[in-house]
Homo-oligomer: A and B are copies of this chain.
Amino acid sequence: MNAELDHLPYGVFSPADEGPRAGVRIGDRVLDLHAATGRPELRSASLNSFMALGPEVWAETREQARAAAEADATSYAIDEVTLHLPFEVADYVDFYASLHHASNVGRIFRPDQEPLLPNWRHLPVGYHGRAGTVIASGSPVVRPSGQRKAPDEDAPTFGPSRRLDIEAELGFVVGAGSKLGTPVPHDDFARHVFGVVGLNDWSARDIQAWEYVPLGPFLGKSFATSISHWVTPLAALDAAWTDLPGQDPRPLDYLAPDRARGLDLAVEVELNGEVVSRPPYASMYWSPAQMLAHLTSNGASLRTGDLFASGTISGPDPDQRGSFLELSWGGKEPFAVGGGTRTFLEDGDEVVLRYSAPGTSGGRITLGDVRGRVE
């Protein structure tokens, strides 16, 4: 069995001098899904109208794509097409689901207190981010300006962020929406979630630190969030589900603690060509389905194109931390890279996030990466 056919991630591409359309990636080629299936929703500049059709159509289309790939249907070399943002983002929510990340941040920012706040083990903490500034992998990231005040300064000043950072995350893409006033139960996760993307939640730590009380992060995050060109459908991750590390105390019933499962994805954070961290997604505390059940537990509706992200993925070890804030311990312990040391991002730095997972026929699949260079 060809491991490439285990994956079949969805994207939107334009062949030279032609309009955008949906495709699946097979190695270094992109298959034209509209040509392969005849489905009109796949001749579109975004996956939204296709994703809205729901899980039966997703499964059928995946079978058609696999058959077309085996029959050598119309495809294009990936370096001869233009790749686009794969879907229009409706609402974007960012969670904070890594115990190690939340504990590290607590220790860095509030060294005299318990690292975890009292609510953290009871619910997946999250907040809404800016959907309109979600950009495709490869788009440049302009260093944001903003207000920041160092502890030793009397008043804030306005200027370029001095503590520009990344957050290595995984994003979950909602295909089929839900009705306002009707929570989505934990077990309906796969009826609504179409797939996953790699996600870099660029963060200006100095802007964030000054602005975030009491209503949470705002301009420290809203200037850019990069996602991969490719959406890996849930069906390609069938072999990646694994036990959670464990939840104590037992979460409330609507979070279905007995049935919650995690994902065994490997992540690499690469700075200017060098791997600086390898966060294991399997170390996450809250499960994807728990995040979705929590997000809708108040009756909030889902729309096609909603994107919710895991929050920074950090494992228990120092070389498994998914942000420079943690890797440099708040900027106090520069880490070695490229023959020198580093705390936060410098102009010209390029970050690539890479993701892989067990495939359904024994090998590994490589998910879409997320690239961005600081300008």
Which residues of A are at the interface with B, using a C-beta cutoff of 8 A? 90-91, 93-94, 96, 117, 119, 122-123, 125-133, 135, 142, 144-147, 149, 155-158, 180-181, 183, 204, 207, 210-220, 222-224, 249, 252-254, 294-295, 297-303, 306
- Please tell me which one of the listed residues B135, B220, B298 contacts residue A204 in the complex, with CB atoms under 8 A apart: B298
Of listed A130, A158, A212, A220, residue having the most chain B CB within 10 A: A130
CB-CB under 8 A for A180 and B90, given A123-B147, A298-B145: no
- Please tell me which one of the listed residues B183, B219, B249, B300 contacts residue A130 in the complex, with CB atoms under 8 A apart: B300
Q: Are B91 and A299 in contact (CB under 8 A)?
A: no
CB-CB under 8 A for A132 and B223, given A122-B156, A181-B142, A211-B123: no
- Please tell me which one of the listed residues B213, B252, B298 contacts residue A144 in the complex, with CB atoms under 8 A apart: B298
Of the A-B pairs whose beta carbons lie under 8 Å apart in the complex, a sample of 9, sorted by A's number, is A91-B130, A123-B156, A123-B210, A123-B211, A142-B180, A158-B252, A158-B253, A204-B298, A219-B294
- Please tell me which one of the listed residues B142, B218, B295 contacts residue A126 in the complex, with CB atoms under 8 A apart: B218
- CA distance in complex: A188, B145 (Å): 19
Closest to A217 in B: B215
Closest to A139 in B: B180
Q: Are B155 and A249 in contact (CB under 8 A)?
A: yes
Closest to A222 in B: B300
Closest to A204 in B: B298
In the complex, besides A128-B129, A132-B306, A220-B298, 19 extra interface pairs with C-beta distance below 8 angstroms are A119-B211, A122-B156, A125-B214, A125-B215, A126-B215, A127-B127, A128-B218, A142-B180, A142-B181, A145-B297, A147-B252, A158-B254, A158-B297, A212-B214, A212-B215, A214-B216, A216-B217, A219-B295, A222-B298
Copies of this protein in the assembly total: 2
Of listed A90, A91, A157, A204, residue having the most chain B CB within 10 A: A91
CB-CB under 8 A for A301 and B132, given A214-B212, A215-B217, A249-B155: yes
Closest to A311 in B: B215
CB-CB under 8 A for A216 and B127, given A90-B132, A132-B301, A252-B158: yes
Which residues does chain B contribute within 8 Å of A210, judged by CB atoms? Answer: 119, 123
Minimum distance in angstroms from A293 CB to a CB of chain B? 11
